[in-house]
Amino acid sequence: MLKGRKITVGVTGGIAAYKAADIVSWLKQQGAVVRVAMTEGATHFITPLVMKTLSGNAVGCDIMTEDDAFHVPHIDLAECELFLIVPATANLLAKAAHGLADDLLSAALLATKAPVLCAPAMHSNMYQHPATQANLSLLRDRGWQMIEPGFGRLACGAVGQGRLADVETIKEAVCAFFAQSQLLAGKKVLVTGGPTYEYIDPVRFIGNRSSGRMGLAVAEAARDAGADVVFVLGPSALPDAAGMRTIHVVSAAEMYDAVWAEYTDADIVVMAAAVADYRPAERAAQKQKKGGDETLQLVRTVDILQSLGEHKEGRFLTGVAAETADIATYAADKLRRKNLDLIIANDVAQPGAGFDVETNIVTAVWPEAAAEGGLAMEQWPLLSKREVAARIIRMIAERMKMNDKK
């Protein structure tokens, strides 16, 4: 699984730095191409010579190094398939969260487009400090995956959460990452996200509060699963994500056109956008003033997912719906009406779910002949949007594999 994989290991100045040697040795034994970046603090706990011997490659310690093994050290180290940090100190987390790049490792992290797998390790007081927790939250939002520290006796003798995760746990996380990265290899995944704006006049529009975060999380999870991803995004403040093609649209009609332009060769579609159900019958050329005819005539917008379901032809179609009551009932109805393979219903009436938050509470529903009523479902607890997205992608991969066997 790891043979030929390009992995950069970042090592920081914590007492657990010596355990990074075991990880580097194991990666090398598995056939990975391993490069190591060390902070100055890390070199006080374990020497660069040890890491060079175990990895079989030159070790980067100084951003200004003139070692012939590097062309531009922080760029060379940034070019990898996985960036693994073992251990990650509170200082490194703070620098990465706020874009500081004052040493080789932090500069390489700022330059990399690779997924980051991070194993924090520090005193429990430092780990629990609001600043550290805020930095961890920021990094998770950017897609960093955390290997949570363990609870137990720390180097200073205190007992609490903060010790580096077990070496075996870190190895399992690396293997799980690359296993996940192959789930949708060779597949084209089309994802939509965000709202649509249906303009009344040049100033006013009909819209909703969707931020596009759920759609982006699904698109990133599909990308990390090895898929070729196209993300059709409605009006949003979200930046374009690396490793995928983003198409910006405004109205439901524009989203319809963009989706159908990409649908022909798509294998999987996840409609996570909150598309407006209605639009003004006519868009005024000038801002409408008070005092005139203030009746607004509305007409239905095109149902994009319905249209896709009518021409599914072997594609795997997933809908994401926001509901406030009778979640399972409405989800099951949409699944059948729109000829879907999976629907994810988000209970936006619950605290911590829905728009403008980082978590969701969802019910997944899919066709299952052996289940009661021909449908099966799972209710997921309050989860981050990223975890929900990861579960969606895993479920899609599993359902597609099962369908192929039938």
Parallel, antiparallel, or unpaired: how do β-strands 362-367 and 383-384 relate?
unpaired
User: What burial class does residue 368 get, using C-beta atoms within 10 Å of its C-beta: 0-12 exposed, 13-18 middle, 19+ buried?
Assistant: middle
Identify the active-site residue in 61, 118, 156, 175. Answer: 156
The single-letter code of the amino acid at 95 is K
CA 359, 392, 268, 306 torsion-angle sign: negative
Query: Active-site residue 156, yes or no?
Result: yes
Encoded tokens for 178: 């690359």
Encoded tokens for 129: 């400090």
| Three-class SS state of 280 | strand
The answer to whether residues 397 and 226 touch, using CB atoms and an 8 Å cutoff, is: no
Please state whether the peptide bond connecting residue 87 to the residue before it is cis, i.e. omega within 30 degrees of 0: yes
Parallel, antiparallel, or unpaired: how do β-strands 82-88 and 116-120 relate?
parallel
- Quote the CA–CA distance of 280 and 145 in Å, as a whole number: 44
Q: Show Cβ contacts of residue 314 under 8 Å, excluding neighbours closer than 6 positions.
A: none
Backbone angles phi, psi at 24, to 5 degrees: -60, -45
Please name which of 335, 334, 339, 359 lies closest in space to residue 347, comparing C-alpha atoms.
Answer: 359
Give catalytic residue positions: 156
